[in-house]
Chain A
Amino acid sequence: SSELTQDPAVSVALGQTVRITCQGDSLRSYYASWYQQKPGQAPVLVIYGKNNRPSGIPDRFSGSSSGNTASLTITGAQAEDEADYYCNSRDSSGNHHVVFGGGTKLTVL
């Protein structure tokens, strides 16, 4: 079982705002990173650190954190944002392991 918990599925109307969350004890101490994965493709990093976007990632993607919950917000969701989204961080065991959330399937209606 994952130490980071994500909702399995979320939907959003085209052009609206959606928040995808990730919960876990380790997020009280470490930032989450967020990855987008489309069918048949490798994951792509979209958010890391406090709220950093790699080059080429649209500014409609943003990240935030509060307590044990990290959030990925897409402001003005586009059809091409339909994908699986995964969070990851360090685990809370002290082993310096990396842990991924179970993923959230985002549907853009």
Chain B
Amino acid sequence: QVQLVESGGGLVKPGGSLRLSCAASGFTFSDYYMSWIRQAPGKGLEWVSYISSSSSYTNYADSVKGRFTISRDNAKNSLYLQMNSLRAEDTAVYYCARGNGVATVSDYWGQGTLVTVSS
């Protein structure tokens, strides 16, 4: 069965960096777009970024563009999110999700990893 397991979250100071990982299994990872979506405590869902199956295309929300970098390693069935210059408003649960044909349709989600940006 499809499984997505995020890791790498934690407490980081403003201005710091963190790298999230998402380990995928149960499907042919290299065939699918993948996304990162976040949810601040008590708030709604916010799309962060997506990457095409071959890494040829990436896209970012304006709120993270220039600070976050999405990448993937199809040989390792893994998705990554490098987060730099972190701000308090980046505090959220970060989910990785599989795209169903298009990046806007996320048919499987991981359980999320919490990132807290605080001094």
Contact = CB atoms under 8 A, between A and B. Distances in A.
Indicate whether A and B interact.
yes
Interface of A: 2, 30, 33, 35, 37, 42-45, 48-49, 54, 84, 86, 88-90, 95-103
Contact-residue size bin, chain B (C-beta under 8 Å from the other chain): 20 to 34
B109 interface: yes
A44 B109 CA distance: 7
A33 B35 CA distance: 15
A86 B45 contact: yes
Q: Pick the 3 closest A-B CB pairs, nearest first.
A: A98-B47, A42-B109, A103-B44
Given A42-B110, A42-B112, A45-B100, A97 B47 contact: yes
12 contacts: A42-B109, A42-B111, A42-B112, A43-B45, A84-B44, A86-B44, A88-B104, A98-B103, A98-B104, A100-B44, A100-B47, A101-B44
A98 B105 CA distance: 9
A102 B45 CA distance: 7
Given A35-B45, A99-B47, A100-B45, A49 B105 contact: yes
Interface of B: 35, 37, 44-47, 50, 59, 61-62, 95, 100, 103-112
B45 A45 contact: no
A101 B34 CA distance: 20
Nearest to A33: B105
B23 to A, nearest CB: 15
Nearest to B107: A45
A91 B66 CA distance: 20
Contact of B100 (A48, A97, A99): A48
Contacts of A89: 104
A104 B106 CA distance: 18
B45 A30 contact: no
Given A48-B105, A98-B103, A88 B47 contact: yes
Contacts of B46: 100
Nearest to A100: B45
A43 B46 CA distance: 12
